A and B are shown apart, each in its own frame.
Chain A
Amino acid sequence: MWRRLFATAPAFRAQKAPCRSFKSSRRSDKDVFEEVEDQFRAFRKKAVKAMPGSDWSPFELTPGLPPERADVVIIGGGVVGWSIAYWIKRKERTRGALRVVVVEKDPTYSQASTVLSCGGIRQQFSLKENILLSLESADFLRNINKHLWVTNEDPVDLQFNHSGYLFLASEKSAHVMEENYSTQRYAGAKVVLLSPSQLKERFPWMNTEGVALASLGLENEGWFDPWSLLNAFRRKALSMGVYQCFGEVTGFRYSTQIAEVAEGDFVDFRRIKCVNVRMPNSLEYQPVECPVVVNAAGANSGKIAAMLGIGLGPEESVSGIPFPVEPRKRFVYVVHCPDGPGLDTPFLIDYSGVYLRREGLGGNYIAGMSPEETEEPDISNLDVDHEFFQEKVWHHLAHRIPAFEKLKVSSAWAGFYDYNTFDQNGILGLHPLVANMYFATGFSGHGLQQSPAVGRAIAELILDRGYKTIDLSAFGIKRIIKKKPILERNIV
């Protein structure tokens, strides 16, 4: 080390230069044995490289190919995928013990749900698991620089806005809100209930007509920049030695075992041996041999599951139950309203389903709404339906905040939800028909805010064979097969 240090420092180099002129060569002061040792070392390196189990190949390879063998292949380089990669590397015992590959289809992240989301985080759920996941994620985000800071780089700046979430409940749903409130308080979330008069006093710009009760998050709630979080996870995971690969998973090589289940049916049990990763803009693909696969492909995870024959079997059997995750398109509108509410604007969620949050200090807001189940927009592209804002969103918005009668839609975008059609909650854990694929999808819009805790939970499942911090067994795939949904009790 010191020799290298001296060689790199310019001062020492300058001193060395005049000395050299007195000698014809430097060989005389060199140790012969050291040279031999060097030769041995080089030989050993070469031998290790050529041994089976390494990536060494005598042929020229395409740059960007994933390694031939890996310990964990994570399909999907969104925030959940990178979070899982980070937590696996963080939990490994020795540096470089596990080889983790993250496969992402789109290097520009132009259609990724992570970066097209609104970036909110809240604890106002009705399920204990969701509240705990969100609380742990908030704890992670609070200490983000202890987790994701890379030496010699700028600290992570999430641009977190601690404005809280404000849920409004109508007469009909007020009792649900009260029940949810007690669950949230019990789980440790800091939430207060507000009566309409208190609401009017706190937020004078709001029309409280029709509101029976409101709940406001005081702490750990708000919104942040999703791109910063994704990049921070990626930067840290790469610095810890995770392999990043841009390509598309086109299929699997697996072994099948036929077994009889209790009802007398025969089902196929599968074990993945190889993941086929196709390179972008070419037909070349690389099989990656791996013992563990994680499906964090978000909106496309249903497609990945179908590649393994999940849901393609006979209808009554276990293998006939399709994996219930599909992409759903949601529109986000950026509106400009100079007379709108100021710094005290929370992430407002009205009982009509409309949401609104502030964007920056310049009088810009982000608004949107989930469409009716029967009016789901076409998912083949990411085009925005501007009519939807005019017809559905605006009048709810203007009713709630009269200042929004005068507004201008300055831009809009659309993004995909990884929508769980079964019960709109995350699906975590192993599938009973595939021995080595872990699922972490179906968050239906909460994926970003729960990603740090979910990454940790999946890493625990893989490395410790069970949940250690939060027990998420309720989110397992069993509930889909037994047809017992666990539903959020929504106010909307």
Chain B
Amino acid sequence: MAAPLVRHAMRRCLAHNCAVTVRRGLRSGATPSVFTRLLLKLDHYFYDVESFLYLKEWWKTKVVKFQNKYFGYVQKRYGAQIGAAYYILAIKGSFRFAGQSQWFRPDSTGMFSFMRSPHGQIEEVDLSGTLINLNGLGNLISQNKLKTLSLRGCPEVDDWFLARLHVFRDSLVELDLSDCTHVTVGGLAALQNLRKLKRLDISGLPRLQCPGLVRILLEEMLPHCQVIGVESEQGMIQPERQEPTDIDDASTQSGLRRS
């Protein structure tokens, strides 16, 4: 199938392994602020700072945990559909019921109201920029008509989350994973269970080492799926551009040696 193309891409990718390693070094998150760096420095010397850092981390996980709690009571009282809708609005996402064109989303103050749909289930969900994680996904599992899921810029979405997406394997058509900082190729491999997938956005994933190659492999894995957001050439340095630099390097090196 796409084997020659893959081989070609691979050869280029392997040839520039060093370039990839450099990028890998840089990708470990954004540069921390001056204050954070000061704290990390002081952490070497003082237990108080260490416990402060622990407290900060504890608070962060607490918030994520609170945002992703299981809406068991609502689900039991009003049904799984209302539970899922309530959860989506509570973490400031938006959704659309099947057979309706209206999107429900909270207003700027976080208040929301929605009409219960008589038989329609949730069809489209937009969770861009929310703190959804694996536990939160448990609230949506019963929505077996879910067609579109947008997870643009979700900081808590990781490979384990993608592996759990198999619960929508009979319905999910469109998936947007752009700018999810924790997603790697190991998680994208788990998308093979989503056989109905037609459209996948993988732009701006900082931990992907060879986005171009991954795109080709994904297209091979899911033949009916259109993978967007990444050019096939991305992550690979053009050979024609690279050759002269090699010569340049050699000449400068020899020049140095001569002088």
A residues whose Cβ falls under 8 Å from a Cβ of B: 1, 4-5, 8, 142, 146, 151-152, 154, 159-164, 190, 202, 218-220, 222, 338-339, 342-344, 361-363
Contact = CB atoms under 8 A, between A and B. Distances in A.
Contact of A162 (B6, B134, B159): B159
A476 B90 CA distance: 48
A338 B13 CA distance: 14
Given A162-B162, A338-B7, A342-B221, 14 more contacts: A160-B160, A160-B186, A162-B187, A163-B192, A219-B163, A219-B164, A222-B186, A222-B189, A342-B220, A343-B214, A344-B189, A344-B192, A361-B214, A362-B13
A142 B190 contact: no
Among B159, B184, B192, the one with the most A-chain Cβ atoms within 10 Å of its Cβ is B192
A124 B159 CA distance: 21
B50 interface: yes
Contact of B14 (A164, A343, A362): A362
Given A361-B217, A362-B13, A190 B166 contact: yes
Contacts of A5: 42, 45-46
Contacts of B46: 1, 5
Nearest to B47: A1
Nearest to B184: A159
4 nearest CB pairs, A to B: A162-B190, A162-B163, A343-B217, A161-B186
A218 B160 contact: no
B140 to A, nearest CB: 15
B134 A142 contact: yes
B256 interface: no
A220 B163 contact: yes
A344 B221 contact: yes
A161 B215 CA distance: 17
A339 B3 contact: yes
Contacts, number: 89
A339 B46 CA distance: 56
B149 interface: no
Nearest to A155: B28
B117 interface: no
B218 interface: yes
B19 interface: no
B40 interface: yes
Contacts of B193: 218
A338 B8 CA distance: 10
B53 interface: yes
Main SS of the interface on chain B?
helix
Contacts of B240: none
Contacts of A146: 61
B45 to A, nearest CB: 7
Nearest to A151: B53
A142 B137 CA distance: 15
B44 interface: yes
Contacts of B163: 162, 218-220, 222
B190 A361 contact: no
Contacts of A361: 10, 13, 185, 210, 213-214, 217
A162 B13 contact: no
Contact of B217 (A1, A4, A151, A342): A342
A466 B172 CA distance: 46
Contacts of A160: 159-160, 186-187
Given A160-B159, A361-B213, A4 B10 contact: no
A338 B166 contact: no
A132 to B, nearest CB: 19
Nearest to B186: A161
Nearest to A216: B193
A177 to B, nearest CB: 19
Interface string B189-227: 110110100000000000000100110011011000000
Nearest to A139: B160
Interface in B161-194: 162-164, 166, 184-190, 192-193
B246 interface: no
B54 interface: yes
B219 to A, nearest CB: 10
14 contacts: A5-B42, A142-B160, A151-B54, A152-B40, A160-B160, A161-B185, A162-B159, A162-B190, A163-B186, A163-B192, A218-B166, A220-B163, A339-B3, A343-B188
B43 interface: yes
Contacts of B166: 190, 218-219
Nearest to B44: A152
B48 interface: yes
B186 A159 contact: yes
A1 B160 contact: no
Contacts of B54: 151
Interface in B10-50: 10, 13-14, 28, 40, 42-46, 48, 50
A161 B43 contact: no
A233 B225 CA distance: 40
Contacts of B192: 163, 202, 343-344
Contacts of A220: 163
A297 to B, nearest CB: 32
A145 B53 CA distance: 15
Contact of B10 (A1, A154, A338, A343): A338
B126 to A, nearest CB: 24
Given A162-B189, A163-B190, A219-B166, A154 B217 contact: no
B218 A343 contact: yes
Contacts of A339: 3
Contacts of B164: 219
Contacts of A218: 163, 166, 193
Contacts of A1: 46, 48
Given A146-B61, A363-B10, A151 B43 contact: yes
B61 A363 contact: no
A179 to B, nearest CB: 23
A386 to B, nearest CB: 25
Contacts of A159: 184, 186
B45 A162 contact: no
A4 B3 CA distance: 63
Given A338-B3, A361-B214, A363-B7, A162 B160 contact: yes
A152 B61 contact: no
Nearest to B187: A162
